[in-house]
Structure 1
Amino acid sequence: MATATVASFSLLSEAEFGCEHLASQLIHDGPASNHFRTSFIKAHNSLGRHDTSKTASSSLLKPKYNCITCSEPCMNGDRKTHTEKTGHQFYIESRNRGLFCQGCEDMVYDHGLEQYKSATPENSLQAAKKRRFSDSSTDELYVKSNASKRPCAKQGVRGLFNLGQTCYLNVILQTMLHDPILNTYFLGNGHQPHDCTASDCIGCAVTEAFADFNSIEKPEGFAALNLLLASWRASPTLAGYQQQDAHEYYQFLVDKLHTSAEGHLESHEKGCTCFFHRTFYGKLRSSVTCDKCGNVTKTEDPIVDLSLDVQVQAKKRAMGGSTGPSSTPTLNGCLESFTSPEKLMAGVYNCSGCGGTPQKATKQLRIKKLPAILCMQLKRFEHTFSVSEKVEGRIDFPLTINMLPYTTNPNSTVDKTRYIYDLSSAVVHKGKLDAGHYYVYCRQGEEWMLFNDDQVTPVTESEVLGVDAYLLFYNLRCLSNAAP
C-alpha cells in the first residue's frame, strides 16, 4: 500500500480532514492524536445544551471560543493573542459547536470529528478515528485530481449569527447586502440615521447592517440585533423566536424601507418616486374579457414580487396538456402559466357590458412595470381546508432571464436589453413546513457564496443552479435602459 507523498499531503489533508493544520494533529494515529480527540470531545461536551430561553441579553449573543487544549474561553478579539501566547490554535465556537482553526482564521469542518457529536460517549472516540480515505495510490490520485484548497471566508464576505430561529431574517438581509443597487444607496448616505427622528426605524437598522458588513476591521460574522429588535417592535407577528416565512419577511422589510424613505407616498397609486419604490415595486395588470360581448376590464396593482405556482406544469401534464417534454418544471414555464389566459366560470365575473349579469370570462395577468430588483417566489407551501404541506422538488431556473414575454407588450420590437435580468441570490428552505431552516446563495463579484447563518462557503454556478430554490432574486442588467 503506497503512502502519500509530501507534495500531495496538503491536498490530501485538505480533502480528508478539515484543514492541513488539523491533519497534522490527526493523520497519524497515536497518543498525540488520541489526546487531541479526547480534548475535543471534552471541550464539546462541556458546552452543554443550547440555551433556548427568550431572555438572552445582547452580550450573550456574541460567540465565545473555548480552547480545546486548555479550555480557556476567548472572545473574538482575544483568540489570536491566546494562540500567540500558548501555541494552542483550535477552538470550539460556543453557538454552533463548530471547530475554529486560528491557523486558517476560519471555521473548519472535519467529517471524522463530526461523527462523535451524535455518538454515545462509549463509541464517540472510535467514531472520530474513522477516516473516509485510505492511503492507496488510487485514493491519493483521486484526491489530487479533484480537491482544491478552499478560500477562507475573509475575502469580503461575512456571515450572520442566528439569534434564535432568525435564519429567515439572515437570508433576506444577506440578499440585500450583496445587491449592488442597495450597496450604492446605503453606503452612499442614502438613509442618514443621524438625521432620522423615527423610533425603531428599519431604514436606520439596515443602514447599520450595511456599515457593519462592510467594515474591514471585522472580517468575521456579526449579529443584526438592531434590525431584529426593530422588526419585532414594528410587527407583533414577528416578535419572538418562532420560525417565520422568509418571503413574508421580505415583503415586510421592503414595505418598511419604503416608509423610511424621505418624500415617499403612502399611496402607490399616486406614482411614488422614492428610491425604494423605484427599486422594489413593479405593477401587475389584470385583464378580464367577457366571453359573450368581448368587454375588457383592466385593473393594475403594485407588486414587490411574483408568486409562481410550481405545480401548474405538472397538473397540465397530468391532464394531457402540452407543457413540453421535460419532467422538471422550469421558471420560464411557471411564468408562462402565470401569464396565460385563464377561464372564469359564470358567477365569478359580472360583466358591465352585459348589464352587470354573471358571464363566463377569460382572465389574464401581465406585468405592466418591472422593478430593478425582481423577486420571484416559487410557491412551495400549500394550504387547504384539510391540510398544509410543503411542495418538494427542483425547479430549473436560469442565470439570465428575458422578462419581455411576460409583460403587457410581449411581441413589441423594443430593445430587449431593457428586460434582461441576472440572478443575484437564491434562497433555499430545507425541512418541514413548520420546522425548517433557510440558507441563501449570493453572487459575490464573479463568484458565488453559500451563506448558512454565520457559515460562509464558496460554491460553483452549477451548485447554485441545482438547488431547490424557494425565492429567486434577479437584477436588471442595465439600469440606464430600464423599461418605463
Structure 2
Amino acid sequence: MPSYSVSAASHRWWNTFSLESTLPLFKSKTICHPCSRALTPALQDAVREGTLWSPYEGLNQLGEAAVPQIPFLGDCSEVATAFAYVMTDMWLGDSDCVSPEIFWSAFGKLYPAFMKKTQQDAQEFLIYVLNELHETLKKYHRRRSYEKRSIPRSCRKMIANESSIITRLFEGQLNYSIICLKCENCTYKNEVFTVLSLPIPSKYECSLQDCLQCFFQQDTLAWDNQIYCSFCETKQETAVKANISKAPKIIVFHLKRFDILGTMKRKLRTDIHYPLTNLDLTPYICPIFRKHPKYNLCAVVNHSGDLDGGHYTAFCKNSVTHAWYNFDDTRVSEIPDTSVQTATAYLLFYSCQPFSIPIQKRKS
C-alpha cells in the first residue's frame, strides 16, 4: 500500500492546486476544534489498534466507570499522544469543554504555519492530522513487530507499507480512464484520496448529487492542458473520466466554497442540500467494487463568514443515542435533525457502517 501522504488526492490530479490558496478560516487556539470533534466518532475504532483509546460519550449513562488508560506511543509522536489525551478528555465528558492547547502546541512544532494566529483551512488541518496519526501508528506497529520478532526476516521489508486504522477508515482510490481523442488509445491511472474536493456547479442552490456529478463527469483536456500520448508521441486533446475503484468506509467531502480567479477572491454561499441518510454513491463506483454504495452522515464542519474572517462550528451525531449536537467553541447543544442541513456546510463526513462502541483493552 502506498504511503499515506498529505498530498493524497483531495482534488483532480491534473489540476494545479495549492492548499494555502483556499484560505478558509479557523483560529488556531479554538476550543474543541470542529475537525477534531468531527473525527472523534470515526476514531473510536482506533481502540482496536491498542494505541488511541477514547471512551465513548455514553459511558456514564450506561453506568460503567471509566478511567482512561492509554497505551501511548512512547517517543514516536508527541502529536499522537496529545491527540489521544484530547479524545479521552472529550469522550469522558467530565468537563463542559476541552482546550486542545497541548495538542495544538505539539502539532505546531511539526507544522509551524499552524502556530500563527492567522486564518487557516480546516480541510488542510484535517489532512495533516490524519497523515501524522497514520505515520505514527505505522511506525509504532513496525517497531513492535521488530521487538517481538513476530515476522520472518524476509517479510520485514513489507512492514514499511503497513496500513493503519486511518487508512482503513478514510483511504479510498480513484481510477481515471484517459482517452487520446486522436488515436483513441485508453490508459488508466489510480490515485489514492482521503478527501474529495467537490466543485459547486450553482451559485444559489444545488444538491450534493449535483456536486458529485460535476466532479465525476467526463472532462476534455485541450490547449495548455493536453496530455502526452505515448502512441502519438506528442501531447493530444484527451478525454478524462474518474470513478471510485475503492470506496472508503468513511468518505469526507470538501465543498469548494472558496474561489480564487486571478486577483478576485470570493466565497460561494450556495445552499447545498445533502442527505442525512442513504447517500447513494452507486453511479460513481466501479460495479465490481460496490460493496458499500450507501452512506449516512455522521458529522459536518460549518464555516460562517468570508475570506477575511470567520468562524467554524461542527455538527456531530452521537453513535449511541443517534442524537445530533452542535459544537460551537465552549457551547454544546442538542439540535433536531432538521437543523443539520445548513448553507454553511464546508466538510461532510459520511460513513457506510455504524460506529462501534469502544471497549478498553485490558491487560490480562
Q: TM-score, normalised by structure 1?
A: 0.56
Report Cα offsets for 1:36-80 as digits up to 9, x if no partner.
Answer: xxxxxxxxxxxxxxxxxxxxxxxxxxxxxxxxxxxxxxxxxxxxx
Partner of 1:283 in structure 2? 173
Partner of 2:58 in structure 1? none
Report Cα offsets for 1:259-311 as digits up to 9, x if no partner.
Answer: 1103479xx9x86422211111111222210112211121112111100011x
Partner of 2:5 in structure 1? none
- The amino acid across from 2:196 in the alignment is L
Partner of 1:404 in structure 2? 282
Report Cα offsets for 1:403-429 as digits up to 9, x if no partner.
Answer: 2211233xx6x7x66222110011111
- CA–CA distance in 1 between the matches of 2:342 and 2:184? 44
Q: From the superposition, tell whether residues 277 and 351 of structure 1 become closer, same or farther in structure 2 (CA, over 3 Å).
A: same
- CA–CA distance in 1 between the matches of 2:28 and 2:112? 16
* SS across alignment from 1:209: helix
- CA–CA distance in 2 between the matches of 1:273 and 1:478? 21
Q: From the superposition, tell whether residues 236 and 340 of structure 1 become closer, same or farther in structure 2 (CA, over 3 Å).
A: same
- CA–CA distance in 2 between the matches of 1:472 and 1:167? 20
- The amino acid across from 1:330 in the alignment is S
* SS across alignment from 1:418: coil
Partner of 1:439 in structure 2? 313
Report Cα offsets for 1:75-128 as digits up to 9, x if no partner.
Answer: xxxxxxxxxxxxxxxxxxxxxxxxxxxxxxxxxxxxxxxxxxxxxxxxxxxxxx
The partner residue of 2:108 within 232, 243, 246 is 232
Partner of 2:187 in structure 1? 297
Measure how far apart 1:329 and its partner are.
1.0
Measure how far apart 1:474 and its partner are.
0.5
Report Cα offsets for 1:328-358 as digits up to 9, x if no partner.
Answer: 211111111111101111551121122x122
The partner residue of 2:39 within 176, 180, 185 is 176
Overall identity of the aligned pairs, in %: 25
Report Cα offsets for 1:185-244 as digits up to 9, x if no partner.
Answer: 24873338655233652221121112111225x141121122111111110111122221
- CA–CA distance in 1 between the matches of 2:344 and 2:72? 42
Q: From the superposition, tell whether residues 176 and 227 of structure 1 become closer, same or farther in structure 2 (CA, over 3 Å).
A: same
Note if contact 1:278-1:371 (Cα within 8 Å) is conserved in structure 2. Answer: yes
Partner of 1:61 in structure 2? none
Note if contact 1:346-1:361 (Cα within 8 Å) is conserved in structure 2. Answer: no
1:420 aligns with 2:281: no
Q: From the superposition, tell whether residues 435 and 303 of structure 1 become closer, same or farther in structure 2 (CA, over 3 Å).
A: same
Q: From the superposition, tell whether residues 313 and 432 of structure 1 become closer, same or farther in structure 2 (CA, over 3 Å).
A: closer
Measure how far apart 1:361 and its partner are.
1.4
* SS across alignment from 2:317: strand
The partner residue of 1:359 within 236, 242, 245 is 236
- The amino acid across from 1:402 in the alignment is D
**Any gaps of 5 or more consecutive residues in structure 1?**
1-162, 315-326
Q: From the superposition, tell whether residues 349 and 187 of structure 1 become closer, same or farther in structure 2 (CA, over 3 Å).
A: closer
Partner of 1:449 in structure 2? 325
Partner of 2:88 in structure 1? 211
- The amino acid across from 2:236 in the alignment is Q
- More RCO (CA 8 Å, sep 6+): 2
The partner residue of 2:136 within 238, 253, 260 is 260
Note if contact 2:228-2:234 (Cα within 8 Å) is conserved in structure 1. Answer: yes
* SS across alignment from 2:217: coil
- CA–CA distance in 2 between the matches of 1:272 and 1:187? 15
- CA–CA distance in 2 between the matches of 1:350 and 1:175? 41
Q: From the superposition, tell whether residues 164 and 345 of structure 1 become closer, same or farther in structure 2 (CA, over 3 Å).
A: closer
Measure how far apart 1:173 and its partner are.
0.8
1:189 aligns with 2:50: yes
Note if contact 2:270-2:343 (Cα within 8 Å) is conserved in structure 1. Answer: no
Would you identify which runs of 4 or more consecutive aligned residues in structure 1 move more than 4 Å?
A: 192-195
- CA–CA distance in 1 between the matches of 2:128 and 2:248? 17
Partner of 2:253 in structure 1? 376
Larger Rg: 1
* SS across alignment from 2:107: helix
- CA–CA distance in 2 between the matches of 1:276 and 1:289? 33
Measure how far apart 1:455 and its partner are.
0.5
Partner of 1:144 in structure 2? none
Q: From the superposition, tell whether residues 391 and 276 of structure 1 become closer, same or farther in structure 2 (CA, over 3 Å).
A: same
- CA–CA distance in 2 between the matches of 1:168 and 1:249? 15
- CA–CA distance in 1 between the matches of 2:99 and 2:349? 23
Partner of 1:393 in structure 2? 270
Q: From the superposition, tell whether residues 169 and 254 of structure 1 become closer, same or farther in structure 2 (CA, over 3 Å).
A: farther
- CA–CA distance in 2 between the matches of 1:195 and 1:271? 22
Q: From the superposition, tell whether residues 250 and 345 of structure 1 become closer, same or farther in structure 2 (CA, over 3 Å).
A: same
* SS across alignment from 2:241: strand
- CA–CA distance in 2 between the matches of 1:387 and 1:215? 46
- The amino acid across from 1:222 in the alignment is V
Q: TM-score, normalised by structure 2?
A: 0.74
Note if contact 1:417-1:478 (Cα within 8 Å) is conserved in structure 2. Answer: no
* SS across alignment from 1:449: strand
Partner of 2:124 in structure 1? 248
Alignment of 1:27-38 (within 5 A): none
Q: From the superposition, tell whether residues 313 and 368 of structure 1 become closer, same or farther in structure 2 (CA, over 3 Å).
A: farther
- CA–CA distance in 1 between the matches of 2:162 and 2:280? 26
Q: From the superposition, tell whether residues 418 and 197 of structure 1 become closer, same or farther in structure 2 (CA, over 3 Å).
A: same
Measure how far apart 1:313 and its partner are.
4.7
Measure how far apart 1:385 and its partner are.
1.9
1:332 aligns with 2:332: no
Note if contact 1:289-1:363 (Cα within 8 Å) is conserved in structure 2. Answer: yes
- CA–CA distance in 2 between the matches of 1:350 and 1:164? 43
- Structure with a larger share of its residues in helix: 1
- CA–CA distance in 2 between the matches of 1:288 and 1:169? 43
